[in-house]
Structure 1
Amino acid sequence: MSVFARATASRSSRAVWTGIALAGASALLLTACSTGGTATTPSETAEATADASEALPIAEGERALDLKIGTILPQSGALAFLGPPEEAGVQLGVDEVNEAAAGVNVEVVFRDSGDTTTDTATVSVTDLLSQDVSAIIGAASSGVSKTVIDQIVAANVIQFSPANTSADFTTYNDNGLYWRTAPSDVLQGEVLGNLIADDGNQTLGLIVLNDAYGTGLAQFTKDAFEAAGGEVVAESLFNEGDSSFDAQISEVTAANPDAIALITFDQAKVITPALVGSGFPGDKLYYVDGNLADYSADFAPNLIEGSKGTLPGLDTGSLGDFTDRLLGVDPDLTDYSYAAESYDAVVLIALAAYAANSTDATEIAKYLQQVSGGSGDGEKVTTYADGVKLLAEGKQIDYDGASGPITFDSNGDPTEATIGIFEFNADNTYSRIGDG
């Protein structure tokens, strides 16, 4: 997907939901981005939000729908650390929709996505489709989603990812059935590239996972860094399943870059100590959503203190009691990455099912943009219960959720997002220091 970023006033009544709007189909030109600052770009081809006259009608009246959904989220593989918060977000969404007892009763079936070294996702999708699910939430990995999207679309089922960020999905031939609450890596790459430049680095090396996620994010990071006056002096790829990264480390460090960006999944657990052990400064590494994690149990103290990274999503401190509600589902959670996006996926699907008065995936998909506020000029709501009250009156709604304003465009992309900027502490945990 190609998208634009521009600063917008928040579509939410909550001040913390100041987002970055995404629209259009061209390269980003980031005009301001710094720790604690806001990224802004002029939008040359921004799509106008559809007005109420273009919206599908909402039939008045209550509903009694039984909606079955499945998940393919990472219980194993290179992104397994994202599985617990994503599954907790889904379960919380299901619980709260069902507790509202307002027209839609949701049943969820959890399955593993694995990673691209296995066919776990295909096996899971085949199983879920045999159970007549209306929607499948996942995968977290863009590469994994690419292995199953055709299978899901061919079955006329919705695929809804809370974490896919590859730009390729914007224009994918998905028959209107692919949606995501995570922003395209066009934005994260812009924020990361400018962050590295703003920190005073003039040269950059990249160690990159060779898949749709890694190479796409690397390109957008490179574009932004070079547009800011920097030079990428080395870029070395590896494949999912590789266990040794000596060649990549040697290739990149030989170019003597000021900084190195690791665009990987949990391979960073192996690459990071080896890089620092080779003599590269631990505070000159940059991480991304695929590997920004708590490394306190993996690395020696102070190993990467001062290094930084980026991750889409609101500051957990701005989520009110959402994190407390998540801990009610999984009290062992320590990472909340993409939990809010997973929760919102469930709520949006349920609201769209109510609006459509159907559990047929193609009918639900017709209303997803509308209930998100991307069309219909609806009234703002922030919970499922409030949304269905208005839908039962035949009114349009605009749902802003735990992940913030969403506002889908016609491609199924969110048009508003926030990218957090983080810094690692002495104990190799990380803290948010601003938004890009």
Structure 2
Amino acid sequence: MTQFTMGRRAALLGAAGAVTSFSIGGKAFGQGAPVTFGALPPLTGAGGPYGPAMLRAIQGVVEEANAAGGIPTRQGGRQIRVVAEDDQTNPDAGVRGARKLIDVDRVSAVMGTWASAVTTAVAPLCWENRVPLFTVSGADSITLLPHQGYIFRTQPNSRLQIETASSWLLGKGARRVFHLAAQSPFAQSSQDVMSERMRAAGGQVTGFIIYERDKTNFRSEIDQLMRSRSDTVMLNGYLPDVTILLRELFRAGFDGRKFTFAYAAPPSIFQSLPNEVTNGLVTFQPSADVDSGAFRRLQARFGNTEVDPYSAQTNDHASLAILAAAAAGDASGTAIRDNVRKISQGDGEKVDNVTDGLRLIAAGRPVNFEGASGPVDFDERGDIRGTKFRFEQAEGGRFRVLEIA
């Protein structure tokens, strides 16, 4: 069973257990002190629809690893415990949570930050304390920080996301795109890439407005959009503000293409808006590797709960941290950092789950882990090298898949 601890606001799931000895591949290990990992997902706030499932995915991998005997290290076999804090999709709360995880709980890794603003605030605490940070945040600026190799991003960076989105829109005939973006580290980098890509193809960004997310109406922004004669609007925000924007676009009679990130318009948006407001809305997101063994395993664990891309990525965060520690024979943050690429790219035997990976490592064999989110190959900055994207369109109160490319 997983040794699992949570902060007061994150009191969701919990279990604990311990063993005194175990073996992997016939090799016996004594039981050392537990390895502690930190989870910092958004259990509340704008990322609240995703955080609990992200945490559940981490927990499931840790349970599998503990059932297989935990992490074999030079100090003996070590079970794993997870301490979770709610970052509330808020940088201040994220910093408080990270300080507790690092200073009090003495975690070997932090995983699951979602909003780019939170990750940007938390990252210096991690690299200064030599704690790897595994994140699903997309802003380009994150891996440009002087993080000394302690950041691993499974979410494609904003350049890759916006290049993909812009190319798709151009392919559908978009030439005049108006960009409405919530204040975040992601906003300006998104605008820079979109402008560059549209200009190169003979299109243009007809307007760019960064707005405050807590506004209750966006009438002036919508007025500017309507005057721009744009054929497409890119809504680069979060669920609460995008919900308001869609309602106001409908009232204003905007008949162009509406395009946004899937996290800004999850299926729950149909509970807040009538179908005539959402019909035609196109969303896109990085796609999990739905044909992989890792994804099917996660899907089986989740049962009736949908496996979203962020859950697939945090499944891989936990797997990467555990297998890197096992390969190093050392669960320190620096050892994990130095071994992530060794177990996720190269000529090792391909594995799609932590149990098989631990077995092979204990037998002295190299592994190449490929996860639920796809191959987890990182470049020198810690960015994932590539992934597929999923495009869906709202019709009659549900999303229909347009394509996965």
TM-score with structure 1 setting the length: 0.79
- Deviation by residue 1:170-209 (Cα, 9 ceiling, x = unmatched): 3321121111211112111111111211111221111012
Say whether 1:405 aligns with 2:405.
Answer: no
Secondary structure of residue in 2 paired with 1:68: strand
Matched, 1:72 2:40: yes
Q: Partner of 1:155 in structure 2? A: 129
CA contact (8 A) 1:292 1:311 kept: no
Gaps of 5+ in 1: 1-59
The equivalent residue for 1:207 is: 180
Could you say which residue in structure 2 is the equivalent of 1:183?
156
Cα 1:315/1:257, change in 2 over 3 Å:
farther
> Within 5 Å, which residues of 2 pair with 1:1-400?
66-103=34-71, 104-116=78-90, 119-129=92-102, 130-161=104-135, 163-266=136-239, 267-281=241-255, 284-294=257-267, 295-314=269-288, 316=290, 319-327=295-303, 333-334=305-306, 336-373=308-345, 375=346, 377-400=347-370
User: Counterpart amino acid of 1:307?
Assistant: L
Residue 419 of structure 1: aligned partner: 389
CA drift at 1:410: 2.6
Contact 1:293 1:430 in 2 (8 A): no
**% identical equivalent positions:** 22
Cα distance between partner residues in 2 of 1:434 and 1:99: 38
Report the residue type matching 2:57 in the other structure: G
Measured at CA, do residues 212 and 384 of structure 1 come closer, stay the same or move farther in structure 2, by a change above 3 Å?
same
Structural RMSD (CA): 2.1
Q: Distance in 2 between matches of 1:409 and 1:369?
A: 9
Specify which structure has the bigger relative contact order, considering alpha-carbon pairs within 8 angstroms and separated by 6 or more residues: 1
CA distance in 1, matches of 2:177, 2:393: 18
Could you say if the C-alpha distance between residues 276 and 335 of structure 1 is closer, same or farther in structure 2, counting changes exceeding 3 Å? farther
Per the alignment, in what secondary structure is the counterpart of residue 122 of structure 2?
helix
One-letter amino acid matched to 1:336? D
Within 1, Cα distance between the matches of 2:54 and 2:372?
A: 13
Q: Which amino acid aligns with 2:272?
A: D
CA gap of 1:209–1:424, structure 2 versus 1, over 3 A, is same
Deviations 1:95-148 (A, max 9, x none): 2222222535221111111234x6211111121111111111131011111111
CA contact (8 A) 2:70 2:80 kept: no
Distance of 1:89 and 1:425 partners within structure 2: 30
- Structure 2 unaligned runs (5+)? 1-25, 72-77
Find the aligned partners of 2:50 and 2:192 in 1 and give their Cα distance: 24
Shift of the alpha carbon at 1:61?
6.2
Match in the other structure for 1:15: none
Residue of structure 2 in register with 1:430 after alignment: 399
Q: Which has the higher helix share?
A: 2
* 8 A contact 1:207–1:237 mirrored in 2: yes
Distance 1:62 1:384 in 2: 19
